[in-house]
Amino acid sequence: MNARDVSLTALFVALTAVSAQITVPIGSVPFTLQVFAVLLSGLILGARLGFLSQTLYVLAGAIGFPVFAGFTGGFAHLYGPTGGYLLAFPLASFITGLFAERSKKPQLWLMGTLAGIGAIYLLGWLRLGLYLNGDFTKAFYVGVLPFVPLDVAKAALAVGIAGAVKRALPWL
């Protein structure tokens, strides 16, 4: 890993932390821009570095750095209602990064971002369902369904921005 990789990875840890602070509370699971940063990290950094950036983000929050929504941190967040979503961030970035590495077509990038969002929803829904005493139906209606249109928009925006960044900085 060279200095550029370290710098870009750290930049996306910071970008995810900042995006977590842009939040709108809409129930047990708040709307934030974290998913946008997660997807963008995979699209721009690729699978390996995207995964690393999001793993470092989750670890930083778990050990207490105030990088999660509302400038909070601590291991308890991984056991709370949003823990599954947070734990899925590295996987989502990895999946998105695989699609970006294997194709230059934005349509496939969009498929990758949607697959990444699917991973976030799956782990988030499972954890939220457990948190809600096994009420997975309620977890779906509270923690997945309201976010689908917003996250599809974030995915499209991430693909557009990643394409522009890669055209402007072809060395990425």
Torsion of CA 143, 67, 162, 103, to 10 degrees: -70
Total domains in the chain come to 1
- Residue 29's pLDDT is 67
**For residue 101, is pLDDT > 80?**
yes
- pLDDT, tens digit, 9 for 90 and up, residues 32-62: 899 999 999 999 999 999 999 999 999 999 9
Boundaries of domain holding 101: 3-168
- Residue 132's pLDDT is 96
- Residue 28's pLDDT is 63
Q: Tell me, what CATH number does 141's domain have?
A: 1.10.1760.20
Q: What percent of the chain has pLDDT over 90?
A: 90
- pLDDT, tens digit, 9 for 90 and up, residues 2-26: 999 999 999 999 999 999 999 887 7
